[in-house]
Chain A
Amino acid sequence: MTGNHHPKGHVLQAFADGALDAATAAQVAGHCAACDACRRELEQIGEVHAVLARDPGPARPRPAWPAVQARLQRERRPLGLTFAFGTALACAAGLALSILVGGGGVHHQVAGPVIENATEGGASLLDIFATAIPEES
């Protein structure tokens, strides 16, 4: 780097960034004091930095914490509990369906008679929905 040996480009860049150790930085500074080409190179690095600095950056983001907290709560929910809850929900839905279809008769164990009795007893799903939703006048 002394005399006619120019510092490499990445060394000049690190010098401009103040990222060299003191001894190397002193060598580069000494060289640049006597070398127009390297001084010009340093000036150009400084110009690019100045241009980059004109960009103020993006405006503030939306606060991230509410979404992060919601994600954490979802992901922390124990898998076993979720599975147990899902199973219980499925069982309850199945029971409710059998009561609705079977007209409340727990003695119906076979699928065929359930449908038959449901229509006979007048407690089919269609009947129930028909009474639950009033007709428009």
Chain B
Amino acid sequence: MAQGADGDDGAFRILVERWEGVVFAFLVRMLGSREEAQDLTQETFVRMVGAAGRYRPTGQFRSWLLRIAGNLARSRLRRRRVIRWLSLDLAAVDPPAEQPGALADIEHREQCAAVRAAVGRLPDRQRQALVLRQYHDLSYDEIAQAMGTTTGSVQMLLHRAMNALRDDLVNGGGMS
């Protein structure tokens, strides 16, 4: 980041290539749309470059970057709601990545679809906390940093998210 802030675009390029997969996966799970996620992935990195001069390496870079992406995602979700109330069906918008031998595994695909839809129905902040924990393996402290909140709030958000998912997945047949 320091090299980038000094005008070295090569350093930014390395950062983008290193982190684009993480940012993109996070945004897909937040937004349920590959196109929007692609768009906001670019925006995240443009903002990262813009903020490079103000970056202080006191915390985790990953948390800092995902905070930018999270703010953009929540802003986009709020804007969506202003336009129309959209029930996120993540599975319908973005099918899961195919794995070797999984193409014919309809049950597996249906389970993935049910999981994505259930995650997509969570309130924004619960979904953000859950995605950061479950799919990006952030610690509670890192999640708190990425969301601009306290560790205690993260505990509550995750607890509520897990309860909601359990109810949703049991009712929807995603788990027995």
A residues contacting B by CB (< 8 A) are 9-11, 13-14, 17, 19, 44-45, 47-49, 51-65, 67-69, 71-72, 75
Q: How many A-B residue pairs have CB under 8 A?
A: 110
In chain B between 124 and 142, which residues have their CB closer than 8 angstroms to a CB of chain A? 130, 133-135, 139-140
Most buried by A among B37, B159, B169: B159
Q: Which of A58, A62, A68 touches B25 (beta carbons < 8 Å)? A: A58
Cα(A16)–Cα(B42), bound, Å: 35
Smallest distance from the beta carbon of B69 to chain A beta carbons, Å? Answer: 12
Contact B108 A54 (CB under 8 A): yes
Contact A59 B166 (CB under 8 A): no
Most buried by B among A45, A64, A67: A64
B94 to A, closest residue via Cβ? A58
Hey, which chain A residues are within 8 Å of B133, CB to CB? Answer: 17
Q: Does B58 contact A (CB under 8 A)?
A: no
Q: List 4 A-B pairs, minimum CB-CB distance, nearest first.
A: A10-B159, A61-B24, A59-B97, A10-B155
Chain B interface bracket (under 10, 10 to 19, 20 to 34, 35 or more): 35 or more
Contact B158 A10 (CB under 8 A): yes
Q: Does B156 contact A (CB under 8 A)?
A: yes
Hey, which chain B residues are within 8 Å of A60, CB to CB? Answer: 21, 24
Hey, which chain A residues are within 8 Å of B24, CB to CB? Answer: 58, 60-61, 64
Q: Which of B9, B116, B155, B166 touches A72 (beta carbons < 8 Å)? A: B9
Hey, which chain B residues are within 8 Å of A61, CB to CB? Answer: 20-21, 24, 34, 37-38, 41
Residues 12-35 of B, flagged 1 when their CB comes within 8 A of A and 0 if not, give 110011001100110011000010
Hey, which chain B residues are within 8 Å of A49, CB to CB? Answer: 134
A71 to B, closest residue via Cβ? B46
Contact A58 B162 (CB under 8 A): no
Smallest distance from the beta carbon of A51 to chain B beta carbons, Å? Answer: 5
Cα(A32)–Cα(B42), bound, Å: 46
Smallest distance from the beta carbon of B24 to chain A beta carbons, Å? Answer: 4
